[in-house]
Amino acid sequence: MRKELIELRINGRADEVAIESSALLLDVLRQDLQLTGSKRGCDDSSCGACTVLVDGVAMMSCTLLAASCEGQEITTIEGVSEHGSLAAIQKAYGEWGGAQCGYCTPGFIMTVKSLLAENPDPSESDIRDALSSNLCRCTGYNQMYEAIRSAIAAERCAVTNSEHGK
């Protein structure tokens, strides 16, 4: 199959890549752009380890044609860290045991990002519902809930502090 040149906007940068029209976004991210943070855990949208944001919406990149994302803003786990530091949700996942083996973690963090963007104050059942798009085999999910609550509190604290000029 002949390759075509397309432009993808990923984590705020424009990348030109030559791809076959059948190329999946996950493979382009991992193989062509070396953005290996998004993982492949299955081949059929079962596990969510490949979750990325496409125009802010959590999508599974393992079953998404890369060519269909031209002109859209793609955010991967590599785009979540802020100024070279961990974002609150990443820090909280690490501290509260939300990540054990870590393989599903990037996907979960993207799902949580999209949840919190839509609903900054989710209830326990909102969180459970949102996370059900992703699978984890290590944690039993319990410590993820604590991580998410702690990240929300940390974000809120940071906002309050910056409002007070600290």
Partner 1 sequence: MVDAAEKTSGAGKYTDDLSVPGMLVGKILHSPYPHARIKRIDISRAEQLEGVITVVVGKDAPNPYGILPVGHDEHALALDKVRYVGDNVACVVAISEAIAEKALELIDVDYEVLPAYFDPEESMKASTDLIHDNKPNNLEKDYHHIFGDPDRGFAEADHVAEARFIANEVTHAAMEPHSTLAAFEIDPHTGKPGRLTVWSSTQVPYYLQHKLSLVLEMPMAQIRVIKPLVGGGFGGKSEVIPIEIIAAVAARKAQAPVKITYTREEVFWAHRGRPRTIIDLKTGVKNDGRITAVKARVVQDGGAYCSYGVVTILYSGALLGALYDIPNIQYDGYRVLTNKPACGAMRGHGTVNVRFAFESQLDELAAKVGMDPAEIRRRNLLQPPCITVNGLRVQSYGLPECIEKTVERSRWDERKGKLPRGRGLGIACSHYVSGAANSIIRSDMPHSTVNIKIDRDGGVVVYTGASEIGQGSDTMTAQIAAEVLGCSLSRVRVIAADTDLTPIDIGSYSSRVTFMAGNATLRAANEVKKLIAAAAAKKMNCQPDDLVFRDDVVGKREGRVGTAAIGRPAEQSSAATVSGRVEGQILRGSLQQKRKDDGPKDQMTFEEAVVAAIDFHGALTGTGSYAPPPEARGGKHKGAGVGPSPAYSYSAQVAEVSVDEETGEVTVHKVWAAHDCGRALNPVSVEGQIIGSVWMGMGQALTEEMVWKDGMLMNPGLLEYRSPSSVESPEVEPIIVESIDPEGPFGAKECSEGSLAATIPAIANAIYDAVGIRLHESPFTPERVLAALRSKKNAKALNLTEGVDPTSPKGFREHGGSLWFKGKGPERHPLDPSRHEPAGGAD
DSSP code of residue 8: E
- Calculate the alpha carbon distances from 30 to 33, 38, 66, 142 in Å: 6, 7, 12, 30
Of residues 113 through 152, those in contact with partner 1 by CB under 8 A are 127-129, 131-144
Closest Cα to residue 123, out of 38, 131, 14, 134?
131
Judged by CB under 8 A, does residue 66 bind partner 1? Answer: no
DSSP code of residue 148: H
Span interacting with partner 1, options 2-10, 63-71, 74-82, 155-163, rule CB under 8 A: 74-82
| Sheet arrangement for strand 13-20 | 13-20, 3-10, 73-75, 51-54, 57-60
In the stretch 13-42, what mask flags binding to partner 1 with x, by CB under 8 A?
-----------------x----xxxxxxxx
**Is 59 or 164 the residue whose CB approaches partner 1 more closely?**
59
Work out which of 109, 115, 116, 152 binds partner 1, going by CB under 8 A: 109
**Is 68 or 81 the residue whose CB approaches partner 1 more closely?**
81
Closest Cα to residue 52, out of 34, 31, 69?
69
The least CB distance from residue 141 to partner 1, in Å, is 5
Give the binding site for partner 1 (CB under 8 A). 30, 35-44, 46-47, 49, 76-78, 80-81, 86, 90-91, 93-106, 109, 127-129, 131-144
